[in-house]
Amino acid sequence: MPVQTFHLERAATPTGAMLIVTDDEQRLRVADWEDHEDRMQRLLRRRYGENAIALVESQGVSPARRALEAYFEGEFGAVAAMPVAANGTPFQSEVWAALRLIPAGSTLSYGALAAQLGRPKAMRAVGLANGANPIAIFVPCHRVIGADASLTGYGGGLDRKRWLLSHESGSVPLFDRVQQEIAK
């Protein structure tokens, strides 16, 4: 099997530095936080095989990075339009596609998502697929919450989940908005 070359970028965001991995067709393969780089590397090996990919530093700014920057500037549709290729199982891919249909500023419970997929008893399987999502923000698993409206686990951490949901609902605290402006 030939080695696939993926392109790695690092992007500063209000939630911490992020890693963006794209392929030669500019499809997004991974988006995760830099402090979870070890997890990202494990996921890539699991999804593509040991030594099946070569990560090279990107030589330019990808459409995925521009979309991520637009998202943090309030243009939520920019990430929704980005082509992704996560290389999951058929069920995971179905869940991830459904996640992309949850509008920014909205949330959905695991049970409601399972019901939308026509599998109302598959809440745990939906939760596992949600947790295996390698493409944060673009495949918005942060929009899935517990049945009691509680914030449940999130690969990037609950503080980031809380921040992303606040950002999408327009309620990011003033201090955070000022910090974003200073960082520009």
pLDDT of residue 117: 95
Q: Confidence class of residue 18 from pLDDT cuts 50, 70 and 90?
A: very high
The pTM score is 0.88
pLDDT of residue 140: 96
pLDDT tens per residue, range 112-133: 999 999 999 999 999 999 999 9
Query: In a 3-state reduction of DSSP, which class is residue 135?
Result: strand
Which has the closest alpha carbon to 166: 148, 147, 182, 180?
180
Whether residue 179 is predicted with pLDDT greater than 80 in this model: the reply is: no
CATH of domain 90-183: 1.10.10.10
Query: In a 3-state reduction of DSSP, which class is residue 60?
Result: coil
pLDDT of residue 148: 86
Rg (CA), the chain: 16
Please report, for residues 35, 66, 106, 107, 112, the alpha-carbon distance to residue 88 in angstroms, rounded to integers and kept in the order given: 23, 25, 25, 23, 22
Whether residue 173 is predicted with pLDDT greater than 60 in this model: the reply is: no
Average pLDDT, the chain: 89
pLDDT over 90, % of the chain? 71
Domain residue extents for the chain: 4-80, 90-183
Q: Confidence class of residue 178 from pLDDT cuts 50, 70 and 90?
A: very low
Q: What is the C-alpha separation between 76 and 166, in angstroms, rounded?
A: 13
pLDDT tens per residue, range 60-85: 999 999 999 999 999 999 999 999 99
Just list the catalytic residues. 141
Q: What is the C-alpha separation between 32 and 96, in angstroms, rounded?
A: 15
Whether residue 176 is predicted with pLDDT greater than 60 in this model: the reply is: no
Whether residue 17 is predicted with pLDDT greater than 60 in this model: the reply is: yes
